[in-house]
Amino acid sequence: MQAATHIKDHCAGGKVEGGPRSAKSTILETGAALTQDFSPIKSVCAHLNAFHVYASDPKRLVETNHYCGHLTEDVRQCLLYDSPDPGARLIGVEYMISPALYETLDQEERQLWHSHVFEVKSGMLVMPQPSIYVPQTAWEKAETAEMEEVIHLYGKVYHLWQVDKGHELPLGKPELMTSITAPDQIPDLEKALDDRDGRFGTDWRRKKEIREHIPEPKIHPDADATWKKP
């Protein structure tokens, strides 16, 4: 009975092609977890939730859970999932770099990267509170400190799985994604944020308010190229 429950908890439940995981798979997974070292994954230190849009079709909005770690003070890397649940699908990757490193890139490369200013200042980017036992004021202080860092960074994102199309496998070529830079770019953005907040217990309007003090850095003119196309 326990094995069956474990399988159910970790399956993507009809969203992925294939049958339920077998007891054998579960046993092998458990054994690996006890004997192998997962150091790269253990470096993940932050869970962020935000929305991406396709650079080729910026009206397609995808909610994304980022699990990020620092390689250096100037480089972060994030695994992107479609949910925070055990059966979540790995849908992409994002790299974040400091303005100093961004400046070293050539113009063509810089146009693949996006800013995080709107994500932070609008309250769209959140760090879901991990436990009800963590005081809200303490968590908001930690989250705001993280936002004070992220607001300066440039991100480069590729999604590998077009979950918004209902694909049950990661089909097609990797898709360059970008972020939103103004509220009117996505007509139903507030509705999407309210829906997300309802599931995570967050409040983007409050986030926006308590982040008003965060200074807005100057965004490099080559970033956010999707929104500058004629």
117 and 63 within one domain: yes
* Predicted pLDDT at 11: 46
70 and 30 within one domain: no
4 and 82 within one domain: no
Q: Which domain holds residue 16?
A: 1-36
213 and 115 within one domain: yes
54 and 18 within one domain: no
Number of domains in the chain: 2
Percent with pLDDT over 70 in the chain:
83
* Predicted pLDDT at 16: 59
* Predicted pLDDT at 196: 97
Helices (H), the chain: 2-10, 23-35, 39-42, 99-103, 107-110, 117-121, 136-150, 189-200, 204-210
167 and 63 within one domain: yes
Average model confidence (pLDDT) across the chain: 87
46 and 32 within one domain: no
Given a cut of 50, the residues of the chain with pLDDT beneath it are 1-11, 13, 24-32
The model's pLDDT over 138-175, given as tens digits with 9 standing for 90+, comes to 889 999 999 999 999 999 999 999 999 999 999 999 99
Supply angle C-alpha 102, 108, 109, rounded to 5: 40
154 and 106 within one domain: yes
**For the whole model, what pTM was predicted?**
0.84
* Predicted pLDDT at 96: 98
64: which 2 tokens?
């994304």
91 and 168 within one domain: yes
176 and 71 within one domain: yes
21 and 54 within one domain: no
CA–CA dist 153, 116 (Å, integer)? 6
13 and 46 within one domain: no
